[in-house]
Structure 1
Amino acid sequence: MSIDLDQLRTDFANTPLDEADREEALHLLLRERRAGDADLLRHLLAEETAVHREGWGVSEALGLAALLLTECGREEDVWALWEAKNASFDTMAGLDGFLLFPAGIAGTTAHVIAAEEHPDRAELMAYMSEYLGYEKLTDEDIREHVAGLRSHYES
């Protein structure tokens, strides 16, 4: 199936996509992402996350979906990214921790701190704190690393 990205943008919830279709859609979005694509990217990441709960390894599609959603810069997407990272042992090890800061360090951390009722808040906060402490990251470090990941997928 050849993906019609414009149609997918308008009706992604009712468009069944297999693994190859999702990967094709993500590569199209890598080249043609629009500001309004966050919902579609969240959907594709959720689909990839579900697949990874049942399997082994970390697919290129999962990494690409997480990257593209991170690039949207929306603090609330930290939860979908955390869910993807926690899909399996392999995704926890293989999905880059830099991707957990879609709104930068301060914006994402403030969002997580404010989510007092979220069931994953404490675990995510502990991970983020440990990750930041270990890596001594700045927002510039995160931007550079995310740009490097983008370059990897574009090549």
Structure 2
Amino acid sequence: MSIDLDQLRTSFTNTALDEADREEALHLLLRERRDGDADLLRHLLAQETAAHQEGWGVSEALGLAALLLAECGREDDVWALWEAKNASFDTMAGLDGFLLFPAGIAGTTAHVIAGEDHPERGDLMTYLSEYLEYEKLTDEDIREHMAGLRSHYEG
């Protein structure tokens, strides 16, 4: 199937996408992402996450979906990104931790702290704290990492 991105943007919840279709859609979104594509990206990341819960490795599509969603800059997306990172042993090791800061360090961390009722809050807080302590990241580091990853996918 050749993806019609404009059609997919309006009907993604009713469109069956296999692995190849999702990868094609994500590569199109890499070049043509719009401000309103966050819901579509969340949907694609959720599908990739589910596929990785059943398999081995880390696909390019999962990494790309996580990057594109993180680039949207919405603090609430940290939960979907955390779920993707936790899909399997391989995704925990293979998806970069810097993707867990879609709204920067302060904004994302504050959002997680405020998410008292979220069942993953404790585990995510522990991970973020340990990751920041080990990596000594700044928001500029995160932006540079994301730009490097984008460059990898564009190349």
TM normalised by structure 2 equals: 1.00
* Structure 2: distance between partners of 1:106 and 1:61: 28
Please name the residue that 2:11 is paired with.
11
* Number of residue-to-residue matches in the alignment: 155
- 1:141 Cα offset (Å): 0.3
Alignment of 1:20-39 (within 5 A): 20-39=20-39
Alignment of 1:116-127 (within 5 A): 116-127=116-127
* Structure 1: distance between partners of 2:139 and 2:101: 9
Q: For residues 54-74 of structure 1, what are the alpha-carbon distances to aligned partners after superposition, in whole Å with 9 as ceiling and x for unaligned?
A: 000000000000000000000
Q: For residues 33-86 of structure 1, what are the alpha-carbon distances to aligned partners after superposition, in whole Å with 9 as ceiling and x for unaligned?
A: 000000000000000000000000000000000000000000000000000000
Percent sequence identity over aligned pairs:
88
* Structure 2: distance between partners of 1:135 and 1:50: 29
SS at match of 2:7: helix
Please name the residue that 1:58 is paired with.
58
2:129 is aligned with what amino acid? S
Please name the residue that 1:131 is paired with.
131
1:33 is aligned with what amino acid? R
Please name the residue that 2:69 is paired with.
69
* Structure 1: distance between partners of 2:135 and 2:108: 17
* Structure 2: distance between partners of 1:73 and 1:34: 13
Please name the residue that 1:46 is paired with.
46
SS at match of 1:124: helix
1:57 is aligned with what amino acid? G
1:84 is aligned with what amino acid? A
Unaligned runs of 5+ in 1: none
Indicate the RMSD between aligned Cα atoms, in angstroms. Answer: 0.2
- 1:16 Cα offset (Å): 0.3
Please name the residue that 1:101 is paired with.
101
* Structure 2: distance between partners of 1:52 and 1:27: 19
Please name the residue that 2:91 is paired with.
91
Q: Please list every run of at least 4 consecutive aligned residues from structure 1 whose deviation after the TM superposition is greater than 6 angstroms.
A: none
2:50 is aligned with what amino acid? A
* Structure 2: distance between partners of 1:118 and 1:47: 21
* Structure 2: distance between partners of 1:48 and 1:146: 19
TM normalised by structure 1 equals: 1.00
SS at match of 1:123: helix
1:79 is aligned with what amino acid? W
